[in-house]
Amino acid sequence: MKLAKYALLALTTLTMACRSGQSTTSSAPAASPTGKPYSVWMADSEIKRSPQGWMIDFRPEPKWDYTQGLFASALERVWKRTGDQKYFTYIKAFADTMITDDGKIKTYKKLDYNIDRVNPGKFLIGLHKATGQPKYKIALDELRDQMRTHPRTSEGGFWHKKIYPHQMWLDGLYMATPFLAQYAAEYNEPALFDEVVKQIVLMDKNTWDPKKGLFYHAWDEKRAQKWADPVTGLSPNVWGRAMGWMSMALVDALDFVPQNHPQRGEILRVTKKMAQAIAQYQDPKTGLWWQVVDQGGREGNYLEGSASSMFTYFLVKAAKKGYIDQKYLQNAQRGYNGLLENLIRKEADGTISITQVCAVAGLGGNPYRDGTYEYYINEQKRDNDPKAVAPFIMASLEFEEMGKASASK
């Protein structure tokens, strides 16, 4: 069951003063047809599908991974917004399944130097702050410690993984930089803010294509990979979710990088580039974005759920906070309405699902992933992948916050 008609019925005119001092008028779905916020509806739906936090991403057994951390971070925000303890209980139960009493993280191996494993450190910061339990601090310090010795390019950019040497992937920017920025703010390590800026600047420098106005999925410093262009080192195509990860990294890192940091402007510069990149490739008919971003309408390409959710979250949050021009709120609104109209489905049991989500995509490895157009469009699609569920929740929270702010005036 498509939900566009409910979104249109629920449109509410909002007037919001942004941090930049500008005022703007926008509209956002205030509530779902159930009367509960979409953020809560989706969070509750996913908890019903995955009663244990480790089950997210269709896992057959517990594992410490970025997708579990992504959903836990989304639920942490729902908990803080609603005050409903069940969300805190859920993420704490996942942490307690994975972390021993002496702070060791099950299934995690620091010397694998897998940047994906660092992402869940964010919700551990929140758990430590809420409970004071030392084991959470020990565990998140271990993740912080990984980044002290994590292998780097010659310029100092983090490798994506030890098994992917000399490579920077857009995905990896989200996996480490928001965690490092939050850690720096919470535990008084200001030098980490410089590291966060450095990683963003290097990713911008090495993956940006000024002709397309887009960021490529990855860059190989050594030009050794079969997927890498022998001149630029870039992968062959622009993958939607990779840019989505980078976009979320920008706005989430900005939550913690101090206003007076001398290089904060560099993050804002890249954030403005990202907004323009996303907006120019938004599908005019649906408001969504394509799996291969710049080849909309080509045979086999499709409007993809995770990238569309990530871009929508980025645009609404960045515009609300005054990081980008307020005109982008219109793009965010079209993206959100597009999600509700085209990709959110109401199920017979009262839950909702998000559809048309690329299950996974990467480069290299075994079997070898060559980054061609055919590769990206033929990767498996599935419903309710957490890489779409969590950003949809976070985007919904941003719109719902706007609604509450307007109602209080």
In angstroms, the CA 102 to CA 138 distance is 8
Distance between CA atoms of residues 187 and 80, nearest Å: 21
For 50-190, where are the alpha helices, taking DSSP H only? 66-82, 85-98, 121-131, 134-149, 170-186
Residue 216, both tokens: 């490529």
φ/ψ bin of 400: left (φ > 0), alpha (ψ from -120 to 50), beta (otherwise): alpha
The encoded tokens of residue 285 equal 């008919």
Catalytic residue among 57, 65, 171, 204, which?
171
Is 252 considered catalytic here? no
The string of DSSP letters for 280-310 reads HTS-TTTS--BSBTT-TTSTT--B-HHHHHH
**Contact present, 336 and 399 (Cβ < 8 Å):** yes
CA distance 289 to 150: 33
* Alpha-carbon span 215 to 281, nearest angstrom: 12
Question: Is residue 241 within 8 Å of residue 306, measured between CB atoms?
Answer: yes
Question: Active-site positions?
Answer: 171
